[in-house]
Structure 1
Amino acid sequence: MTVVTTFRIRPARPDDAEAVVALRALVYPYLVRSEESTRRQIAVPSPGEDRAGLVAETAGEVVGWVAALRDPRSEDREFGRISQCHVNPAYRGRGIGTALLAEAAAHLRTIGVRRAGSLITPDAIGFAERRGFQASSRVMRFSARELRNPPCVPPRQDGIELCSVRDVAEAALYRAELEATGDVPEEVPSGPSSYDTWRHEIWDEPGLDRDSSTVALAGAQVVAFTLLMRDGERVWSDMTATVGDHRGRGLALMVKVAALRRAAAGGVTVAYASNAGENAPMLAVNTRLGYQPIATKAFCSTVL
Structure 2
Amino acid sequence: MTVIVRDFRTEDAEDAEGFSRIRRLAVPYILSTPESVLHDVTHAHPDAHVRPLVAEEDGEIVGTAQTGIVYDSPEPGQGYLNVYVHPAHRGRGAGSLLTRTAEEYLAEVSATKLFAWVLDEPANRAFAERRGYRASRSAHFLRLDLANGSLPPRREPPAGVELRTGTDFADDPRPLFALDAETLADEPSDIAHEFTDYEAWLRETWHHPLLSHELTSVAVVDGRPAAFSAARTDGGTTYGTMMTGTARAHRGRGLAMLAKNDSLHRARAAGFTEAFTGNDSGNEPMLAINKRFGYEICATEVQHVRELG
Q: What's the TM-score, normalizing by structure 1? A: 0.94
Partner of 1:259: helix, strand, or coil?
helix
Q: Does 1:109 align with 2:112?
A: no
Percent identical among aligned pairs is 33
- Give the corresponding residue for 1:11: 7
Deviation at 1:46, TM superposition (A): 3.5
- Give the corresponding residue for 1:217: 220
Compared with structure 1, are the counterparts of its residues 44 and 174 closer, same or farther at alpha carbon in structure 2 (3 Å cutoff)? Answer: closer
Give, in whole Å, the separation in 2 of the partners of 1:180 and 1:63. Answer: 36
User: What letter matches 2:47 in structure 1?
Assistant: G
Give, in whole Å, the separation in 2 of the partners of 1:89 and 1:180. Answer: 35
Correspondence list, 1:23-172, <5 A: 23-83=22-82, 85-123=83-121, 124-136=124-136, 138-149=137-148, 151=151, 152-168=153-169, 169-172=172-175
Asked whether the 8 Å contact 1:180–1:242 carries over to 2, the reply is yes
Deviation at 1:8, TM superposition (A): 1.1
Give, in whole Å, the separation in 2 of the partners of 1:71 and 1:236. Answer: 23
Give, in whole Å, the separation in 2 of the partners of 1:60 and 1:200. Answer: 33
| Structure 2: gaps (5+ residues) | none
Instruction: Pick which of 246-255 and 22-31 moved more.
Output: 22-31
Give, in whole Å, the separation in 2 of the partners of 1:146 and 1:18. Answer: 27
Asked whether the 8 Å contact 1:154–1:257 carries over to 2, the reply is no
Deviation at 1:193, TM superposition (A): 4.7
Q: For residues 149-183 of structure 1, give each alpha carbon's deviation from its aligned partner in whole angstroms, at most 9, with x where no partner exists.
A: 46221342111111110111311111222333332
Deviation at 1:195, TM superposition (A): 1.5
Q: For residues 184-203 of structure 1, give each alpha carbon's deviation from its aligned partner in whole angstroms, at most 9, with x where no partner exists.
A: 11113332352233212211
Q: For residues 181-234 of structure 1, give each alpha carbon's deviation from its aligned partner in whole angstroms, at most 9, with x where no partner exists.
A: 332111133323522332122111111111101101113100001111110211
Give, in whole Å, the separation in 2 of the partners of 1:212 and 1:181. Answer: 20
Q: What's the TM-score, normalizing by structure 2? A: 0.92
How many pairs does the alignment contain?
A: 298
Compared with structure 1, are the counterparts of its residues 181 and 26 closer, same or farther at alpha carbon in structure 2 (3 Å cutoff)? Answer: closer
- Give the corresponding residue for 1:192: 195
| Structure 1: gaps (5+ residues) | none
User: Segments of 4+ in structure 1 off by > 4 A?
Assistant: none
Instruction: Pick which of 66-75 and 190-199 moved more.
Output: 190-199
Partner of 2:29: helix, strand, or coil?
coil
